[in-house]
């Protein structure tokens, strides 16, 4: 078996030790939190407090994101859920973990970027649906997800502060525990966080056991210094170790998935002259992944394993200036991802290169300005230009030869306007974004089985969205309509018996509705609804892997230091499927699932949360179950967990 890189488990041990040592620090009153995300005037942007969830403990970042309206997730296990925003997924969504990009080590995406998020160590998660900024890298047509640590802001309060939690369930998650501590002085601060989760296989509503066990240990250290008022210099290191992940219906399991991330940040908001502020960040993420078909399951006719590496280096420099009534952010960002993966025998004899030293280098220049309009409105204009270079090593064994390096010049931009209207705000946005093909779509290669296309054209998305956010008489509601016309959409297909990719023309359209009404001082009614349709215009058929109409209804009662609530999650039938590409398992029936939850304050700093998901033990599955299983046998739909009782205790100090 291929050896792992030098582990960094000492980070987790150190962080846990700090948490335990500081557990008796002075307590602060526990704030009341709700599951409702914060929104500014644009309902397409949602910020969620990671400690404000009312549901069961989350198993990874993709599971956490599913609580937000308009976001679904594809399931292969309990770990590695793939987020889907407005019908788009994978590299159509930019995912940033405290400013860093991480690209997973599995060609079949056992480990999407959100799977590396130690959710409880982040202060907030901000989701921008669609294209609402040009500052966060190229592409991002489906949206941008930012897992944010606001360490410098929190460290303005001197002393020691932190949180700790422990929880578990009777169906899947054996236990989860973790801690997050900040110690701050007048100019310097340090933050330590750690988390440990162990999960077993779970049962669906029919009592069938779904292979989905795993265990994760993660932790990190951040140190910061303020040279002067308005300036912050910060450095951090983070390690994540996920082992023995079983994947239902897959031909392989994840033996280990290791990620190490390094970050350095500098911010200065007190520069005099033409430049009013500067933000500089550099990062490096290293992922080691090993999957095989024999360690966690009965061995087949031939034992095979696939060791992979995915290393990403990047950074950004953002300058801010005020001129002629505009506040303008402008600068440059870079991202370089290198990936290598071999299929080999347990003795190390290589069979073929899946990722043949694939490398994609992206450099972007951007400028985005905002101006306050008469009447309190806002106008935002942005422009972005990306240089993309893609290459591979065509001299590796059993790899295609004669593959030329690829270059692209991609131009994107946006225009958005928000204007007060009655008791709320209306907005409209128009954008162009370009997504380059990723390493798998370009370079993956397994002769006569799975072949990337090196000269794929980049996707060009032209989007428009309009919406309203209004509050009146105790009722807050918002609605968004969107349309995305896509040229050269990259469609994964198995039409010829070989898994491959081709460019088509396509479009997406949909709507999202959210509302909350205060029925009394203690009783709140909530509702959300999301619908999206994806169409393959070139072949006049539906796009695969599009979620059906879905939503939630909730009723929450909080008279004082305790609360209780009920949530109905539902989805309609999905009959709009692609029967040709081989991506969909077929039509999916609808479902309605009831969850119950509540919390009780145990003093001023501790809270007990408990609940029951899927109360009536329904058997159901999300439609976005990608049919990769057909590569290894009969199509398999992975059901969601059946009735699950869970509990969690949180404390702040």
**Secondary structure of 494-535 in HEC code, one letter for each residue:** CCCCCEEEEEEEEEEEEEEEEEEEECCCCEEEEEEEEEEEEE
> What tokens were used for 572?
């309609």
pLDDT exceeds 50 at position 189:
yes
Question: From CA 561, how far away is CA 129, in angstroms rounded?
Answer: 34
pLDDT exceeds 80 at position 266:
yes
Which range has the worst mean pLDDT, 38-42, 213-217, 387-391, 420-424? 38-42
User: Quick check: 147 and 125 in contact, CB under 8 A?
Assistant: yes
Question: From CA 31, how far away is CA 38, in angstroms rounded?
Answer: 15
Each residue of 555-610: pLDDT tens digit? 999 999 999 999 999 999 999 999 888 788 889 999 999 999 999 999 889 999 99
Cα angle 428, 433, 439; round to 5: 145
Domains assigned to the chain: 9-652 (2.40.170.20)
pLDDT band at 34 (very low <50, low <70, confident <90, very high): very low
Nearest of 530, 377, 419, 505 to residue 65 by alpha carbon = 530
Each residue of 455-503: pLDDT tens digit? 999 999 999 999 999 998 889 999 999 999 999 999 998 877 888 999 9
Mean pLDDT of the chain: 89
CA 531 to chain centre: 20
Question: From CA 60, how far away is CA 643, in angstroms rounded?
Answer: 20
pLDDT in the model for residue 2 = 55
Question: From CA 541, how far away is CA 322, in angstroms rounded?
Answer: 49
pTM, entire model: 0.92
Question: From CA 176, how far away is CA 195, in angstroms rounded?
Answer: 7
Each residue of 212-223: pLDDT tens digit? 999 999 999 999
Each residue of 146-168: pLDDT tens digit? 999 999 999 999 999 999 999 99
The neighbouring-strand residues paired with 45 are 128
Residues 254-283 have a mean pLDDT of 90
């Amino acid at each position: 078996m291929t050896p792992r890189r030098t582990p960094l488990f000492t980070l987790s041990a150190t962080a846990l030790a700090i948490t335990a040592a500081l557990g008796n620090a002075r307590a602060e009153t526990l704030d009341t939190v709700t599951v409702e995300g914060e929104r500014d005037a644009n309902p397409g942007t949602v910020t969620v407090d990671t400690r404000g969830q009312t549901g069961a403990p989350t198993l990874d970042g993709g599971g956490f994101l599913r609580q937000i309206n308009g976001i679904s997730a594809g399931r292969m296990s309990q770990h590695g859920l793939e987020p889907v925003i407005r019908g788009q997924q994978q590299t159509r969504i930019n995912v940033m973990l405290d400013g860093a990009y991480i690209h997973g080590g599995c060609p079949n995406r056992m480990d999407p970027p959100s799977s590396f998020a130690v959710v409880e160590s982040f202060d907030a998660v901000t989701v921008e649906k669609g294209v609402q900024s040009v500052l966060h890298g190229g592409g991002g047509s489906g949206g941008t997800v930012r897992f944010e640590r606001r360490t410098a802001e929190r460290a303005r309060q001197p002393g020691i502060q932190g949180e700790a939690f422990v929880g578990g369930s009777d169906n899947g998650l054996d236990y989860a525990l973790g801690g997050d501590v900040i110690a701050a002085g007048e100019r310097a601060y340090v933050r330590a966080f750690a988390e440990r989760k162990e999960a077993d296989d779970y049962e669906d509503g029919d009592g069938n056991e779904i292979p989905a066990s795993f265990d994760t240990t993660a932790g990190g250290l951040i140190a910061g210094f303020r040279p002067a008022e308005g300036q912050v210099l910060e450095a951090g290191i983070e390690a994540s170790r996920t082992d023995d992940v079983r994947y239902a219906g897959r031909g392989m399991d994840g033996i280990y998935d290791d990620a190490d991330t390094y970050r350095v940040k500098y911010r200065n908001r007190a520069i005099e002259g033409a430049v009013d502020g500067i933000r500089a960040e550099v990062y490096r993420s290293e992922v080691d992944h090993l999957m095989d078909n024999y360690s966690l399951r009965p061995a087949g006719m031939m034992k095979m394993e696939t060791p992979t590496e995915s290393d990403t280096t990047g950074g950004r420099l953002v300058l801010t200036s005020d001129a002629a009534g505009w506040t303008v952010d402008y600068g440059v960002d870079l991202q370089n991802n290198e990936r290598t993966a071999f299929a080999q025998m347990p003795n190390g004899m290589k069979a073929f290169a899946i990722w043949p030293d694939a490398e994609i280098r992206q450099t972007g220049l951007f400028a985005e300005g905002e101006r306050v309009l008469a009447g309190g409105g806002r106008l935002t204009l942005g422009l972005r230009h990306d240089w993309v270079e893609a290459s591979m090593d065509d001299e590796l064994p059993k790899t295609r030869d004669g593959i030329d390096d690829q270059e692209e010049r991609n131009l994107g931009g946006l225009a958005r306007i928000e204007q007060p209207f009655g008791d709320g705000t209306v907005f409209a946005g128009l954008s162009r974004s370009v997504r380059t093909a990723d390493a798998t779509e370009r370079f993956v290669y397994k002769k006569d089985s799975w072949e990337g296309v090196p000269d794929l054209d980049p996707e060009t998305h032209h989007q428009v969205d309009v919406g309203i956010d209004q509050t009146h008489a105790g009722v807050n509601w918002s609605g968004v309509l969107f349309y995305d016309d896509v040229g050269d959409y990259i469609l994964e297909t198995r039409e010829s018996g070989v898994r491959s990719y081709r460019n088509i023309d396509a479009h997406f359209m949909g709507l999202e509705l959210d509302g909350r009404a205060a029925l009394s001082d203690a009783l709140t009614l909530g509702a959300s609804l999301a619908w999206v349709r994806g169409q393959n215009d070139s072949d006049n058929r539906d796009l695969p892997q599009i979620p059906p109409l879905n939503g939630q209804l909730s009723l929450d009662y909080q008279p004082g230091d305790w609360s209780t609530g009920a949530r109905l999650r539902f989805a309609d039938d999905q009959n709009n499927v692609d029967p040709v590409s081989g991506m969909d398992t077929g039509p999916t029936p609808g479902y309605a699932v009831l969850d119950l939850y509540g919390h009780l304050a145990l003093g001023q700093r501790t809270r007990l949360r408990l609940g029951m998901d899927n109360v009536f033990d329904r058997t159901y599955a999300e439609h976005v179950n990608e049919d990769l299983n057909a590569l290894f046998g009969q199509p398999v739909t992975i059901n969601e967990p059946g009735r699950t009782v869970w509990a969690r205790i949180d404390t702040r100090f």
